[in-house]
Structure 1
Amino acid sequence: MADDVENTGSKKKLFILIALAVTLLIGAGVAAWFLMGDDTPESGMAATSANQQVSAVVEPAYYVIMPQPFIFNVVGDKRDRVVQVKVQLMVRGNNNEALAQQHIPLIESTLLQSFGAATVEQLRTPNGRIDLRKQALFAIQSSMEKISGQQVVDRVLFTGFVMQ
């Protein structure tokens, strides 16, 4: 009978030790998974697929050169000035490049209207020229959207700017 009590006690100890070992192994596995298993492969895959989706949407940039520089008068506080601006348009994709080439007279007219509204004080400062480019871009996008249903032009670039 004493042997049965000792046997039962050692079986309980063995059972407790096995349960404790299994718990420790599971805990160590979970801890290793949290510490070693960072999300870089998954987020890398997600970033790669997101980049592929963006690159599928974003087409290559093309530049449409306006055939002639724009020469116009600007009213100043002391005297009038003559301004010459060389312009290029950045478009995305072959389709938008073809549309911009097709509608160059409309784009030139729109740019002349935008430039005609400028003042000498505005054109003297870099921020003023940036504002003028933004106004010109908005005007071109609006007029092209009326004609083709698309904005077509992404940026208006001044590649030459002279004010006398």
Structure 2
Amino acid sequence: MAADGDLKLGEGKRGLKKIIVLAVVGVVALVLAVGAYFYFMGANSQDATTNVENSVNNAEGGARPSGPEGDAQYVALPRPFIFNVPGASRDRLVQIKVQLLVRGSNNKTLAMRHIPLIEASLLTAFSSANADELVTTTGKDALKNKALSDLQQALLEVAGSVVVEEVLFTSFVMQ
């Protein structure tokens, strides 16, 4: 009878091994199914988000291109702008570090190619400011908007298109 008992134990171990193998296969299949679900459904939800953004932009009248040509890229200018501005009580020294927001790699290449023109245009706009205006946030915003419009006009004449979407001050120091 001992031989019969050993056979039953051996069959029990084989059955346990089969159950473990089936459980592992089931878990792997479940993980793959969940991963495939999120992969494919994630792409659909991303398309839906893009469609919502495009409809919002179209409703606002400012449709922006999407895809690789519409990616926001930043061009950091190599040197900070240091200049004097007159004020009511005294002149002040201003240092501004600037980055440019462009859309797409083509515009980034154009901006990098025309760095001297960009620097000259921005320095002209910055040096026309008044120290009393630059103390306030509205004065800084007005300076940023003036610099952007002057820069876009200069690049439109040379490059034939509006290359820069926004001028960003990354550092603004006035003494």
Correspondence for 1:51: 54
Correspondence for 1:125: 136
Residue 58 of structure 1: how far off its partner (Å): 6.4
Deviations 1:131-162 (A, max 9, x none): 10000000110000000110100000000000
* Bigger Cα Rg: 1
Partner Cα separation in structure 1 for residue 52 and residue 92 of structure 2: 53
> Is it true that 1:95 corresponds to 2:106 in the alignment?
yes
Which structure 2 residue ranges, 5 or more long, are not aligned?
1-47, 56-62
Q: How many residues align?
A: 120
Q: Name the SS of the counterpart of 2:161 in structure 1.
A: coil
Amino acid at match of 1:111: L
Partner Cα separation in structure 2 for residue 62 and residue 74 of structure 1: 31
> Is it true that 1:146 corresponds to 2:157 in the alignment?
yes
CA 1:155–1:49: 2 relative to 1, 3 Å? closer
Amino acid at match of 2:128: A
CA 1:80–1:50: 2 relative to 1, 3 Å? closer
In the TM superposition, what are the counterparts of 1:51-70 in structure 2 within 5 Å?
A: 51=54, 54-56=65-67, 59-70=70-81
In the TM superposition, what are the counterparts of 1:10-21 in structure 2 within 5 Å?
A: none
Q: TM-score, normalised by structure 2?
A: 0.63
Which 4+ runs in 1 deviate beyond 4 A?
none
Q: Name the SS of the counterpart of 2:118 in structure 1.
A: helix
Amino acid at match of 1:85: I
Partner Cα separation in structure 2 for residue 49 and residue 161 of structure 1: 36
Q: TM-score, normalised by structure 1?
A: 0.67
Correspondence for 1:76: 87
Q: Name the SS of the counterpart of 2:70 in structure 1.
A: coil
Which structure 1 residue ranges, 5 or more long, are not aligned?
1-44
Correspondence for 1:114: 125
Deviations 1:5-56 (A, max 9, x none): xxxxxxxxxxxxxxxxxxxxxxxxxxxxxxxxxxxxxxxx8x8388399525
> Is it true that 1:155 corresponds to 2:166 in the alignment?
yes
